[in-house]
Amino acid sequence: MEEISAARPPTVARMFGRIAPRYDLLNTLMTFGMDAGWRQRAVAAARLPPGGSALDVGAGTGPLALALAAAATDSQVVGVDFAGPMLARAVANTAAADLQARVHFALGDALRLPFPAEVFDCVTSAFVIRNVADREAAFVEQARVLRPGGRVVCLELTRTRLPLFRRVFGWYFHHWVPLLGGVVAGDPAAYTYLPESVDRFPAADSLADVMHAARLRDVHYELLGLGTVALHVGLKA
């Protein structure tokens, strides 16, 4: 999943740079192909209007940014990430989709977005917010660059509330995913970091409280993937 970490930014940036070549393939394998559908739900929730502008924070290799652009004609989408090799893949994927005129990428920090205030119609992130050092500050920053009435959309992993499935998923996430990461990407450490970051992440209702604290209004969420993924939406007043 797309990652921005502020706990050890250079270390984590290098880690995601290492796995960039196999990143998209591993996302598909880990989620059994469901990650594409979750991103489409995020696109629908963002409600980017035709001719509008969107910011995708932690864009990684660009799948959510490209989906946003494909869904809204004449829109402009900017993706920001702090891992250069990820952005190189994003640029290549954008060229393959023939969307270079409408989708652009830049190196940037989720806590210090390199944009003026109130320039985007929506701000999205996918599998990113659990890795920033200050989640409330990250949402405050997203709201800053958002136009009044615009939407912040956060797609993120979460701990499922289903007792039996929680045990099954916990084994899969903590044992099979690192093994898969080692075989496919040659980097089991990166895919050990992934489940550990979810273990430390607040539950979906607590994350909604964080978004409220960042002065977003009408915050709501839905659970996807048998409760393993949460899609949060908040509006700027």
Lowest mean pLDDT among 5-14, 57-66, 89-98, 181-190: 5-14
Q: Which two tokens stand for residue 64?
A: 């959510």
Residues 68 and 43: beta-carbon distance below 8 Å? yes
The full set of domains in the chain, from first to last, is 9-24+31-159+199-236 (3.40.50.150)
Model confidence over 138-195: pLDDT tens digits?
999 999 999 999 999 999 999 888 877 878 888 888 888 888 888 777 888 888 888 8
| CA atoms within 13 Å, Cβ hemisphere of 189 | 6
Listed in sequence order, the residues at least 6 apart from 161 whose beta carbon sits closer than 8 Å to its beta carbon are: 223, 227
The predicted pLDDT at position 186 comes to 80
Compute the average pLDDT of residues 64-89: 96
The predicted pLDDT at position 88 comes to 95
Number of H helices, E strands in the chain: 10, 7
For all residues of the chain together, what is the average pLDDT? 90
The predicted pLDDT at position 8 comes to 52
| CA atoms within 13 Å, Cβ hemisphere of 23 | 25
Give 236's strand partners: 216
**pLDDT at 75 > cutoff 60:** yes
**Rounded-to-integer distance, Cα 165 and Cα 228, Å:** 10
pLDDT category at 1 given cuts 50, 70, 90 is very low
Compute the average pLDDT of residues 13-32: 81
**pLDDT at 7 > cutoff 70:** no
The predicted pLDDT at position 147 comes to 97
pTM of the model: 0.89
Structural Rg of the chain based on CA atoms? 16
